Amino acid sequence: MTPGSDRQDERFRQLTTPRSAAVAGILFAVLFGTSLVLMRTALPADPFAVTAWTGSAASRMAAALVLAPFAGIAFLWFIGVVRDRLGDLEDRFFATVFLGSGLLFLAMAFVSTAVAGGILAMSRHAGGSEAEIVYFGREVMLQVSNVYAVRMAGVFMISLGTIWLRTGLMPRWLVMTTYLLSLTLLLVVSLSLWVTLVFPVWVLVISVFILAARRPGPTTDG
């Protein structure tokens, strides 16, 4: 090591995750939950009814489409916060399932939202045979969101709950609650968007707990 290289290394600092980054989970819960509520209220209760996405219904759907990408960005930050909290305790097997299911959930949520955006654009000119395309797109959106994305959310919760159980990072009551809610998402077969609200509510609780609790392990100055 030369004196010049020592001075060069002093310009670099170790990256650390700010504690306030846990707010990303709260932001995701609010944005994603609001987007789901707006989207659900824009859809008719009868799955075979013709969706009239005009007026207030179209406005609610458009607002949901605007919020969804920002919710996805916040969810990526939430995953980063959870992994940072695990630190050296992270196991490769469970981390792979945890990270993979989280990314799959996010990808499917984006696909479902993109399909909804296409339906909204199509519905402005729908008429006659085009109405069948709108109906088909709506069913695809619900299948992707409420069958596949919801189950990936359940796997995400189960893997994370198992990690917490083995490492002791979270209290047992929170782990058991995570298992119960994840089984609900995995076993309940429903095209109702209200079922999906279980996931953002869970993320909200976890994020508040992370903000309130100290990060385990030794702390460093600076």
pLDDT for the residue numbered 222: 39
pLDDT for the residue numbered 187: 84
Residue 85 DSSP SS3: helix
Among positive and negative, which fits the CA dihedral 107, 108, 109, 114? positive
| Half-sphere exposure (Cβ direction) of 23: Cα atoms closer than 13 Å | 4
pLDDT for the residue numbered 219: 42
pLDDT for the residue numbered 128: 47
pTM for the structure as a whole: 0.79
Structure confidence by residue, pLDDT tens digits, 55-112: 677 788 888 899 999 999 999 989 888 887 777 777 778 788 889 999 999 999 999 9
- Percentages helix, strand, coil for the chain (3-state, rounded to 5) are 75, 0, 25
Structure confidence by residue, pLDDT tens digits, 119-158: 777 766 655 456 677 777 788 888 888 888 999 999 999 9
Arithmetic mean of pLDDT over the chain: 79
